[in-house]
Each structure stands twice: as structure tokens, then as C-alpha cells.
Structure 1
Amino acid sequence: MLDFGGSGPQLLLLHGLGGSAEGWREFAGFLTGTHHVLAVDLRAELPWSWDIALADIEALGLDNPAVLGMSFGGMIAGRWAARHPECPAAISIDGHRGGLTAPANYPGLAPARVDAELAELRAVFEAQARTPFLATVFDAFLADDTIDAFAKARCPTLVLLATRNIQEARDFDELMAAGRRGVERDLLAAAAANPNLTVTKVDGTHGMVTTRPAAIAAVVRQFLPPSAPWSEAAGRT
């Protein structure tokens, strides 16, 4: 675990798939003025499951930190929010729904086209799954719908949604845009039913932590409690 220092309540950062705790260094610097910022290297070997990922965080023995994750780490943060009402805050930076889910999650595109493009996208990811660990995580990460967890958030929870595609996904621009529409539709419905959940759109891509670190950190600081932990009933709308 990396300790980036700072004063105030603890804030634990969870990286994206294939990342590391070290990758948070620049972003963490924008948060140490108000929080004691820590980052952990997520498990990168078998056995692995969402439950194991959560147990790994619990085993760190931290002092009830706020939890912030990006992408894959944000999906873990969503599950944390559903299980830990005592958590001061949980934040997901564009981590919500895997990229290979049902055609109904891609509004505006014909189901047959969605199926065809998802098959192409799956082939791209499978080519990258060069280890048993990656194969296992990809299966969960790509087909999972963490929106169900956000709908059950029991602590103040913020989801930041990207509004633009990353350049690397240009071959699937329309599919990715449709996927974002579906995520926004379903997360806003979840937020309407759960006062603990806040959904905010951000002018940026999935890589917003890298491309706009100061701006994203400012949004995070505004949401995080400055000192005393929040109660479950103190969720934001």
C-alpha cells in the first residue's frame, strides 16, 4: 500500500484493471490538502472474485476510509458502498457496467448490430487475457452490471460518468456512445430511488483521472465529507 500523506480523514484509492497504486501519484497530490490519501495494489493473482476483492480491502485494517475507484476500481467501490453503511463516502470514476452486457443496455442501436459489435469487442479483450487471472477478471469485469450495487448504496455514493469516447475505442464509437446512454438511463433511475446515490456527468473520457486530474479532484473534494463521517441517512440527492 502507498501512503501519499496528507491530513484529515482517510481516503483509499482503487486503480483500474492493469493499473497500480503508483498510478495515482499525480491525482493524489490534489487531495492531500484535505485527506490522508492511500492507495493499494489490487489483487493480481488467483483466486479472485468480487467478494475476495472486497475482503482484501477489509483486511487492510484502515480507519473507515472513504473509498474512491476508477473503472474496475470504481466497480469495487460500488460494491463496497452496498455493503458498508458506515463508509463516509464511496466514489466511482466511470466504473459502472461492463462493456459486454445485454443489447438492451445499448439504446438506439439495433440488437443485431449490438450483438455483432460486442462479439468483435470480446475478441479484442480475449486476445489480451494472456494469464488465467486476466481471463477470470475479464469474464467478471466485462459482463458485470455494477449498477445493481449502486442502486443498493448504503452510504453517500457518487458516480462520475464520462461523456466522450476514448481514442482507443474509435472503432466502436457508436456502440460506446449507446452504452453510455444506457448507463446514464439506469443510474439516474437508481439515483431517483436511492437518496444515497449521486450521478454526475463529466466533460471527459474514461481516462479523466489522467487527462483532467485537477478538475476531477475538485469534484471529489466537494463530495467528500471534510472531517466527521456521514451517517447512512445523510445521503445526497
Structure 2
Amino acid sequence: MPDTPRNCETTIGSGSVPIVARDLGGAGAPMLLLHGAGGNLVTMTGLAELLRPAYRVVTVDLRGHGRSGDGPWKWDEVLDDLDAVVDELELTRPAVAGMSLGGMLASLWAARHPDCPGAVSLDGNPTPSRPEDLAGLAPDRAAAELARLREVFAGMSAALARPLTAEQVAAAIEGQRAMARQYGAAEEVWVEAFRRNLVPADDGASRLRPDPELTEELRLAMQSLDLVPAYRAVRCPLLLVLATVDMPEQRPFHDLYVAHRRRVLERLAAVRDNPCLTVLPLKGASHAMVAERPRQLAELITAYLSR
């Protein structure tokens, strides 16, 4: 198989929403690598580079993110976006791997495409939204913790919806550099990822994508998503890599996230008889595992898909 041109960026316009994809090239089998909510294709660069020796890796700006177009968040329509990328780039039976929101899509892709050679979800689980999502917490305590979490999310969403001044953009970029240093990642990649979601506004300020409308659509879409039917239906190899510890920003809600991870495992037990499904709680890894452990994840993904 010939090596394809590296870092070729393409806008696919054959679907209902223009989707931008970056082909990292490579002589291996094709792989779609999908980012999480609020990210873009650049946020997967570190992992993509580690996967590239074995795969022709194609990263994608999901609709409403990066340089892709806007459109309503409906799971089937987003999967159609990915089908359009696959068709346009002539990716024959690609493997699919994704982080968080991208992991949910990887699982849904696997259920839709039984001929897929394999899919990997990196902690692709909806955030907790109902007391029944929290195993082991009393209903009153669960409701109180969820209300507290919603208040924090609402504050974050309101802050992200406000336009950013040039000074705020500069401060955010310095914050990205500091985070990159913390994880031992390339600072310029983290800055590029931040800038890719930055949109100039008419008033001279800047705004971040996804916009507040899509952010709310995503929240509601994930709240209503039940992945168990997809896990039950999948007929190609699907690996679910699960976080086992809190991110720093989750620690004030430690009991909530422990209960949520417990509930995820309980629900997965109902589909453990599907031989196509493999569940791997990754010891010591948080929801930020792509930043924390890109090399380990690349090795894990490659080993799983080459079985």
C-alpha cells in the first residue's frame, strides 16, 4: 500500500454539513481518530503521531468544532458525516478510535458497521445526569450532587459563551502552554488546538466553538444516549477503555464520579456475553487519558486491533 501525503487537510462537502479532515498519511490500514466535545482534530495529534507507524490516521473536526460546519447534533447525522469522510478519502473499512464524545461515536460506528475491523472507545461515556446514573449513592445525595454539578457546568458554559478580549485570549494561550508542560506534550500543538476553535467576532473580540446552542444540544444528546443497545448489537471487535480515577477538576465531586464509574461497570455487566466486546478499566488513568498516557494508549490500540 503506497504512503499517502502527510497532513493533507480536506473539506468534505458531500454531506449535510461540511466536514474538515486531516490525513496524516502512512502506509498502514486506515483509521479514523475522533476528538472529544469542545476539542478538534488537533487535540488528537499526539496520539495520532504515535499510531501513524501502524496506520494511515485521519483526524476529523466533528460538526460544530474546529473548521467544520455547523449543524444540529443528531447521532445518525454525525455518523453520516463520518461516512462521507470515509467515502471521499476512499478509506476501505477503517478502524475507528475516539476519546470521550469521539469514543461514543466509535461505539455507535461499530454497531452501524459490522464489517469494521475494530473500534476503540477511550472513556466514551455520557456524563451523569440522573440519580440512577450513580450507583451506591442515596437518591437524595445523588440529586444534590447532580444539582451541584449542573451549577458548575452552567457557569462554565456561560463563561465560554462570552466573547474573549485579546488579553483573555493571550491568557488562555499561556494556560494551554502550562497544561502542555504539565503533561509533557508539545506546547505549540496545544496552542494550535485552542486557536482552531477560536472564531473572530464582529466586535473585535473572539468566540470559542462549539457555540452555546450546540453545547446545549450536545448535553441533551448525551443525556438521552443509551449505549447498551449498541454494545449488545456490535458484531465487530469493540474495546472500551475506562477511566478509573478523577481528573483534578473532578475531585470536588469524587463520590459522584466514583458512583458513576461503578454504574457504568454495572451496565456493562449486562452485555458481557457479547464476545465482540472487551472492557478494560485502565488503572490510574483519568478521563484525560489521551493527554496523560498517549504512548500506552497507542500501544494498547495497536495491539487490540492487530489481534
Instruction: Report if TM-score (shorter chain) is over 0.5.
Output: yes
* Separation (CA, whole Å) in 2 of partners of 1:22 and 1:125: 24
Distance 1:165 1:147, change over 3 A: farther
Unaligned runs of 5+ in 1: 227-237
Matched, 1:65 2:94: yes
Given the alignment, which residue of 55, 79, 84 partners 1:35?
A: 55
8 A Cα contact 1:98 1:145, kept in partner: no
* Separation (CA, whole Å) in 2 of partners of 1:193 and 1:97: 23
1:143 CA drift (Å): 4.3
Amino acid at match of 2:23: D
Q: Cα RMSD (Å) of the superposition?
A: 1.5
1:170 CA drift (Å): 1.4
Matched, 1:56 2:89: no
Residue of structure 2 in register with 1:197 after alignment: 277
Amino acid at match of 1:197: L
Matched, 1:87 2:116: yes
TM score, norm. by length of structure 2: 0.70
Q: How many aligned residue pairs are there?
A: 224
* Separation (CA, whole Å) in 1 of partners of 2:51 and 2:269: 27
Amino acid at match of 1:79: L
Deviates more, 1:161-170 or 1:145-154: 145-154
Matched, 1:123 2:148: no
Residue of structure 1 in register with 2:269 after alignment: 188
* Separation (CA, whole Å) in 1 of partners of 2:137 and 2:113: 37
* Separation (CA, whole Å) in 1 of partners of 2:298 and 2:292: 12
* Separation (CA, whole Å) in 1 of partners of 2:83 and 2:228: 22
* Separation (CA, whole Å) in 2 of partners of 1:220 and 1:55: 24
Given the alignment, which residue of 242, 249, 253 partners 1:161?
A: 242
What do residues 47-69 of structure 1 show as CA deviations (whole Å, max 9, x unaligned)? 22111110100111132210001
Which runs of structure 2 are paired with 1:100-115 in the superposition (5 Å)? 100=129, 102-115=130-143
Amino acid at match of 1:93: L
Matched, 1:21 2:34: no
Identity among equivalent positions (%) equals 42
Residue of structure 2 in register with 1:135 after alignment: 216
Amino acid at match of 2:34: L
8 A Cα contact 1:151 1:187, kept in partner: no
Secondary structure of 1:91's counterpart equals: strand
* Separation (CA, whole Å) in 2 of partners of 1:7 and 1:188: 38
Amino acid at match of 1:179: H
8 A Cα contact 1:99 1:143, kept in partner: no
1:33 CA drift (Å): 1.4
Distance 1:99 1:143, change over 3 A: farther
Greater Rg over alpha carbons, structure = 2
What do residues 79-131 of structure 1 show as CA deviations (whole Å, max 9, x unaligned)? 1111110111111000023321x323311110111111112212222331642
Secondary structure of 2:63's counterpart equals: coil
Which runs of structure 2 are paired with 1:4-19 in the superposition (5 Å)? 4-19=24-39
TM score, norm. by length of structure 1: 0.89
Higher relative contact order (CA 8 A, sep 6+): 1
8 A Cα contact 2:34 2:99, kept in partner: yes
Residue of structure 2 in register with 1:235 after alignment: none
Amino acid at match of 2:131: P
* Separation (CA, whole Å) in 2 of partners of 1:22 and 1:120: 32
What do residues 133-184 of structure 1 show as CA deviations (whole Å, max 9, x unaligned)? 1111111124433233222212110000011011111121100011001111
1:216 CA drift (Å): 1.1
* Separation (CA, whole Å) in 1 of partners of 2:260 and 2:242: 11
8 A Cα contact 1:126 1:135, kept in partner: no
1:189 CA drift (Å): 2.8
Distance 1:172 1:148, change over 3 A: farther
Amino acid at match of 1:88: P
* Separation (CA, whole Å) in 1 of partners of 2:154 and 2:220: 9
* Separation (CA, whole Å) in 1 of partners of 2:71 and 2:302: 35
